[in-house]
Amino acid sequence: MIGIVIPAHNEEALLDECLRAALRASQHGQLAGEPVEILVVLDSCSDASAQIVSAYPVLSLQIDARNVGEARAAGARLLLERGARWIACTDADSRVADDWLAAQLGLEADAVCGTVTVEHWHESIDEAAQIRYHRHYQARDGHRHIHGANLGVSAEAYRLAGGFKPLTCDEDVQLVRALERSGANIAWSHRPQVHTSARLDSRAKGGFGDFLRNLAQLE
């Protein structure tokens, strides 16, 4: 079984698109019918996120941590207990490609770090800031970006690395560094595709939204 972990904190505006995309990816022909379980970890949600999740054939787990690292760890733990051999991570403000899971597994690595494509740039991020972003960002194989929105890891490698730590941000970076120290074979690939939000009201302090906000403020 393949597991998908999606942490969510008040994501009612974008959760529908996220779940529809994840469900399409779970039904890709190259998975040869292998079961895929999608788990949304509802972390301290006070909006309609839980109601939205209940309308889809996915699992949900409610926690009250307000901590993305703890949310990812709780989700991974539950899916591993249910027999997942591979844990794929994305975010509730992101939309995975139809072949996202197939692309991750097709790389035959212990872990996969994928890239993200920003869509619908926020109006405060002008053309100059967008150019700076694209100059910095390596949308190619061999990149060294780490995104919780596009990350996959085998159950064995995840356990050996010690899993996600309860960090409010950079829990994805922590896991990848632990994977490197454990000797895991990591694929840094542009093949698994994820579109992500360019919103600036980021849910995790120090996360991608804060990076974009800082980019917009550069002279």
Q: What is the pLDDT of residues 90-147, one digit of tens each?
A: 999 999 999 999 999 999 999 999 999 987 666 666 777 666 776 778 889 999 999 9
CB 39 within 8 A of CB 109: no
Encoded tokens for 173: 């970076």
H or E segment to which residue 131 belongs: helix 127-136
Separation between Cα atoms, residue 184 and residue 113, nearest integer Å: 12
Cβ burial 13-52 (10 Å sphere, 16+ → b, else e): ebbeebbebbbebbebeebeeeebbbbbbbbebeeebbeb
Q: Give the CATH number of domain 2-217.
A: 3.90.550.10
31: DSSP letter:
G
Which pLDDT band holds residue 218 (cuts at 50, 70, 90)? very low
204 compared with 38, residue with greater pLDDT: 38
How confident is the model at residue 207, as a pLDDT? 58
The CA distance from 31 to 41, in Å, is 24
**pLDDT tens track for 75-84:** 999 999 999 9
Q: What is the pLDDT of residue 119?
A: 76
pLDDT for 172-189, tens place per residue?
999 999 999 999 999 999
Query: Are 90 and 4 in contact, with CB atoms under 8 Å apart?
Result: yes
- pLDDT more than 90, % of the chain: 79
pLDDT digits (tens, 9 = 90+) for 161-174: 999 999 999 999 99
Scanning the chain, the segments in alpha helix (DSSP H) are: 15-26, 49-54, 68-81, 100-106, 127-136, 155-161, 171-181, 208-217
Write down the pTM of the prediction.
0.89
- What is the distance between the alpha carbons of residues 31 and 28, in angstroms, rounded to a whole number? 6
**Contact present, 158 and 80 (Cβ < 8 Å):** yes
State the Cα–Cα distance between residues 96 and 84, nearest whole angstrom: 19
Domain ranges of the chain: 2-217
